[in-house]
Amino acid sequence: MEDSVTEGPPAEPRFVLGVDSGGSGLRVALARVTSSGPPEPCGSVASGEPVPTGSAGIDAGRLIARLLPAARELLAKADGTRVAAACVGAAGMVTLGGRLRAELPGALADGLGARRTALAADVVTGYVGALGEHPGAVVAAGTGLIALGLDGRGWRRADGWGHLLGDCGGGSWIGRVGLEAALRAHDGRAGGSAALLAAAEALFGPAPGLPGLVYPRSDRPAWLASFAPEVARCAATEPADPVAAAILREAAREIAITTAAVCPPGPSAQVALTGGLPRLGEPLLRPLREELAARLPGATIVPAAGDPLEGALSLAAQVARGSLGLPTEPGLLSVHDASEGGGPAGAR
């Protein structure tokens, strides 16, 4: 990519770095910023390998070791030498981000010249990517489920507690309840679904083998979620399986309850549903529209404008311009000034 300085005064374009680190891998993007308007992306790299997370939190050293070479490669291709600011959005930032907050701003200052680094929970970059600074709610629904709302007073979160404590209505939840209904049918218990039992045995083999399949795994939530599309399929066939349809209606109710807990009331709010769960289609989306209309009258359901990586670039651009339009909150969104250089910079 050739050097193309399209703006006036600055001799070198101002670059910003956006990072999205989550369970599905690490993505790094570079963009040019101007004095106004959205950042102009000039390249990104993605790796499907997630950054390891131990009991002490996200492995900051491993993230830095993968992030800096990727960023330097992107800078070199864009004929740049440094970034003005960076934003790292990461899953687990709220509870497990301590080491990132301690090490990352200094490393990005030393390694890439970033004077300011924003650290954001992945739900925040997801929100900014989907709705920008517009008040409303973004529901990130895949294997798990979490909702983030924004209003004049700040951020508000609901659920995201994981497959044993919540994530109600998410992929693991739907798969778990669907398999439970399958095994009810196997046992002759009330509330079972022969269709879900047939689907489970077609996918996983005979029912008595299911415990031996799931409990030894370390990715039990993902395994449970792998059955969610079967629940949707059983609810979508003609005639629909009533148990499968009821499970998806209940999931829709849970998602709407979680959304309503964080979304500001009134007609100006926007609601965006992100992640893989909407791919379950109309058996989930039809009752979800009904439940959202009942619980959030006036709110508009909109498609997400962009993804979390675009949200990270947008936040980095705001930080570079010194005009962050969104509320900071410990764990969710913090900005670290590295003007002192070197080690861990203080949060503001």
Dihedral over Cα of 51, 69, 318, 348: its sign: positive
What is the pattern of x (binds a second copy, CB under 8 A) and - over residues 41-70? --------------x---------------
| Residues in Cβ contact with 272 at an 8 Å cutoff, skipping those fewer than 6 apart | 130, 131, 136, 137, 138, 139, 301, 302, 303, 304, 305
- Let me know if 281 is exposed, middle or buried by CB neighbors in 10 A (0-12, 13-18, 19+): middle
Within residues 142-181, the interface with a second copy by CB under 8 A covers 157-159, 161-162, 164-166, 168, 176, 179-180
Nearer to a second copy, 19 or 224 (CB): 224
The rounded distance, in Å, linking the Cα atoms of 295 and 293 is: 6
- Let me know if 241 is exposed, middle or buried by CB neighbors in 10 A (0-12, 13-18, 19+): buried
**In the complex, least distance from residue 137 CB atom to a second copy, rounded to whole angstroms:** 13
**In the complex, least distance from residue 211 CB atom to a second copy, rounded to whole angstroms:** 5
94 scored as a contact of a second copy (CB under 8 A):
yes
The rounded distance, in Å, linking the Cα atoms of 334 and 330 is: 6
Compute how many residues bind a second copy; rule: CB under 8 A.
Answer: 38
Cβ contact 309:44 at 8 Å = yes
Within residues 179-218, the interface with a second copy by CB under 8 A covers 179-180, 183-184, 187-191, 208-212, 214-216
Cβ contact 150:337 at 8 Å = no
Binds a second copy (CB under 8 A): choice among 193, 258, 270, 318: 258
Nearer to a second copy, 263 or 317 (CB): 263
Residues that bind a second copy (CB under 8 A): 55, 94-96, 157-159, 161-162, 164-166, 168, 176, 179-180, 183-184, 187-191, 208-212, 214-216, 220, 224, 257-258, 260-262
